[in-house]
Amino acid sequence: MREEGAKDFRADLHCHSSCSDGTVSPEGLVALAIKSGLSGLSITDHDTVDAYAVALPAAKKTGLKLVSGVEFSASHRRRGVHVLGYAFNLDSPHIAAWCRQHTNRRRARNAAMLQRLADLDMPVTEEEIPAAAGTVGRPHIAQAMIKKGYVRDANAAFKKFLGEGKPAYVQGTTFSVEETIDVIHKAGGFAVLAHPMLIQRNTIVKDLLQMEFDGLEGYYSRIPDDQERAWQQIAQHKGWLITGGSDFHGDVKPRIPLGCSWVGEETFYLLYDRFLTVTQQS
Ligand code: AMP
Ligand code: ZN
Ligand code: FE
Ligand code: FE
């Protein structure tokens, strides 16, 4: 859950705002981070960096240090893999183009999933899906299903209908992990394998560990320390960065508070210094 040896400096490098499937606004996250005693933060929305237009000026007015971040959806052997990007140039055309491709992918995929739900006699219209300002995906469809009384909660929605292999699940267009890593590198950032302890298949893990990642998420959310340790050792062995964060989503995941997982000063400044460098060059 936390990086050993850290003193009072704590940075949460994984959280979601209302620009994707979190319930707290970007400026709300900045305020909450300060209230939670954090010194550093990265907002890692799914497939969008829109939060930074608001969050950067908000953080600048406070003492909070913010480093660019994103959580890209990718796929390997038809399984979903999340790739975290950090410290990339927020103005990079490579990042902008990649986010745009994801928006298009999601638009078609969401429509296909709504069609599946209609076929299952659980119609949901696009207007009934909340948020819609930023990245829209299965969590938003799940919220609409709860509202319409089809399921009790998001967990049930995923377990019965929206999870991989379930009747309303559509994979849609996919992007490879390798090309995702490449985009992050082209934008000057670090590519990090997100929550490796959640990956079910050893063959996938084996492949991923051969890829050009710069780090892995060795401290994740409320995963027990002993389950994280093996991953930290793998990262150490490979000379990779070990990042960490809560995966805070706000009210939709109330048992996961911001800052429940974090990294210390040394790791944070590795990212932060790179962020300042790539930002100054643009
Ligand atoms: P998508 O990006 O549209 O494929 O949706 C995937 C997102 O759904 C993940 O990043 C999680 O935030 C969320 N999610 C996955 N499984 C569950 C679950 N069982 N309950 C609630 N949210 C989930
Ligand atoms: Zn999410
Ligand atoms: Fe994730
Ligand atoms: Fe996440």
pLDDT, tens digit, 9 for 90 and up, residues 261-279: 999 999 999 999 999 999 9
Who's near 282: CB < 8 A, 6+ residues apart? 89, 91, 92
Instruction: Please tell me the least confidently modeled range out of 46-50, 134-138, 227-231, 257-261.
Output: 134-138
d(Cα 36, Cα 233) in Å, to the nearest integer?
29
Nearest atom in ligand 1 to 253's CA: 21
Q: Which two tokens stand for residue 36?
A: 């939670």
Protein residue closest via CA to atom 8 of ligand 1: 139
Alpha helices in 210-264 (DSSP H): 225-238
Q: What share of the chain is helix, strand, coil (3-state, %, to 5)?
A: 45, 15, 40
Would you place residue 130 in the very low, low, confident or very high pLDDT band (cuts 50, 70, 90)?
confident
Question: pLDDT for 29-50, tens place per residue?
Answer: 999 999 999 999 999 999 999 9
Q: Please choose from 20, 71, 138 the residue to mutate so as to test ligand 1's pocket, defined by most ligand atoms within 8 A of CB.
A: 138
Q: How far is the CA of 138 from the centre of ligand 1 (A)?
A: 6
pLDDT computed for residue 83 by the predictor: 99
> Model's pTM, two decimal places?
0.95
Alpha helices in 124-264 (DSSP H): 138-147, 154-157, 177-186, 202-208, 225-238
